[in-house]
């Protein structure tokens, strides 16, 4: 009968009318209410930490930034019909599958300018699956009170992640998930503490090779010469204008086009009051990677409608530094935890179950 109205007859002969579509509408309203509550909680948290956050300067960058130049559109593995809804009945993991999983702890590492707050949808979905997500603030990010301008090395930037991994009990491993430039942090962790990492998942991330900088992939897309010109309004000189720049931040207009071209307005609003400066030193530091990193179990998740790191650039990263597996999300911008949370979640579950 599909969603048509169903008529049932009571014992007294009067018809009793019920509707599957009505039940479906109630379920949708319930999901919408739950999502609204999550948004409000996250937004409230962001506003509280707003004094720690750096506001954007008005300015402009090259027209090439955020452009949708000719980019190859690969066939996606997943669409996301429930992209903006967190399901309250997440049943993707059976009890048997959950019991058989050796690694249930996920450590979520944010990208440039973001913080632990950006993973709130993924955290909810993973917890509903019976898994153990942990989201960290890198140094100078989120609610970490370190002055971003003083974070000069990748080791400094990644310290909260390395400290967390070092404190794990002997024999315990985690699945690392890194977004955007957070990919450099999980690569660094693979090099330093490979015994603590079961799998490393790069979400539209800077999975660069030995000797490359985390910013190199972005430079191909954005044009580093214009971004770092003396007239650039994106640069911050924390030690004075007579010293090298210490951080950068895109202005609001370009952030929307680069990172959030498919994200819900509420999540964009959350990001606008929560994002902080990006420390320049770690982004411009060449990674020193050896066989420890190369033999790690790496997986890559491509976002096919990404304006900050195009599908072509992501494909190049995969081709030059092959991971064990590649997954693709159709219709996702640079922030799939906002624009396609269900698709991202399904892929993370699939990767977690790979023997």
Which one is catalytic: 83, 122, 158, 180? 180
Which one is catalytic: 310, 334, 339, 345? 334
Helices and strands, number each (H, E), in the chain: 15, 11
Neighbours of 351 (CB within 10 A): 20
Alpha-carbon distance values, 166 to 2, 109, 173, 184, 198 (Å):
54, 16, 11, 18, 14
DSSP tag of 4: S
Would residue 343 show up in a list of annotated catalytic residues for this protein?
Answer: no
Alpha-carbon distance values, 149 to 57, 234, 239 (Å):
16, 14, 8
Q: Write out the two tokens for 135.
A: 């989201």
Which one is catalytic: 306, 307, 332, 343? 306
Beta strands 325-329 and 247-248 are unpaired
With vertex at residue 326, the alpha carbon angle to CA 189 and CA 66, rounded to the nearest 5 degrees, is 85
Would residue 306 show up in a list of annotated catalytic residues for this protein?
Answer: yes
349 within 8 A of 341, measured Cβ to Cβ: no
Dihedral (CA of 196, 199, 201, 207) sign? positive
Residue 345 neighbours by CB under 8 Å, 6+ apart: 90, 92, 122, 125, 126, 129
Residue 69 neighbours by CB under 8 Å, 6+ apart: none
Active site residue ranges = 180, 306, 334
């Amino acid at each position: 009968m599909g969603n048509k109205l169903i008529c049932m007859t009571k014992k007294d002969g009067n018809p009793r009318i019920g509707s599957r579509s009505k039940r479906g509408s109630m379920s949708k309203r319930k999901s919408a209410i739950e999502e609204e509550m999550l948004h409000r909680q996250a937004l409230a948290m962001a506003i509280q930490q707003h004094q720690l956050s750096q506001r954007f300067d008005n300015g402009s960058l090259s027209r090439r930034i955020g452009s949708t130049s000719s980019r190859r559109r690969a066939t996606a593995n997943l669409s996301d019909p429930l992209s903006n809804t967190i399901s309250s009945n997440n049943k993707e993991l059976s009890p048997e599958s959950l019991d058989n999983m050796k690694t249930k702890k996920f450590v979520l590492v944010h990208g440039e300018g973001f913080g632990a707050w950006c993973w709130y949808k993924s955290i909810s979905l993973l917890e509903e699956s019976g898994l153990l997500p942990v989201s960290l603030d890198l140094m100078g990010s989120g609610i970490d009170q370190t002055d971003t301008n003083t974070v000069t090395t990748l080791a400094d930037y990644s310290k909260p992640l390395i400290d967390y991994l070092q404190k794990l009990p002997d024999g315990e491993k985690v699945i690392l998930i890194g977004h955007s430039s957070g990919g450099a942090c999980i690569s660094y962790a693979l090099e330093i503490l490979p015994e603590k990492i079961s799998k490393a998942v790069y979400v539209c991330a800077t999975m660069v090779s030995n000797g490359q900088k985390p910013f190199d992939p972005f430079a191909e897309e954005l044009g580093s010469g214009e971004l770092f010109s003396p007239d650039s309004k994106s640069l911050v000189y924390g030690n004075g204008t007579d010293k090298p720049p210490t951080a950068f931040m895109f202005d609001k207009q370009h952030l929307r086009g680069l990172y959030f071209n498919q994200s819900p307005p509420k999540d964009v609003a959350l990001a606008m009051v929560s994002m902080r400066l990006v420390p320049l030193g770690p982004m411009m530091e060449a990674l020193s990677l050896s066989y420890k990193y190369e033999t790690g179990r790496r997986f890559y998740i491509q976002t096919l409608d990404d304006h900050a790191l195009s599908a072509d650039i992501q494909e190049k990263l995969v081709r030059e530094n092959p991971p064990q597996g590649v997954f693709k999300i159709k219709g996702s911008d640079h922030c799939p935890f906002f624009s396609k949370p269900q698709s991202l979640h399904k892929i993370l579950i699939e990767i977690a179950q790979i023997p």
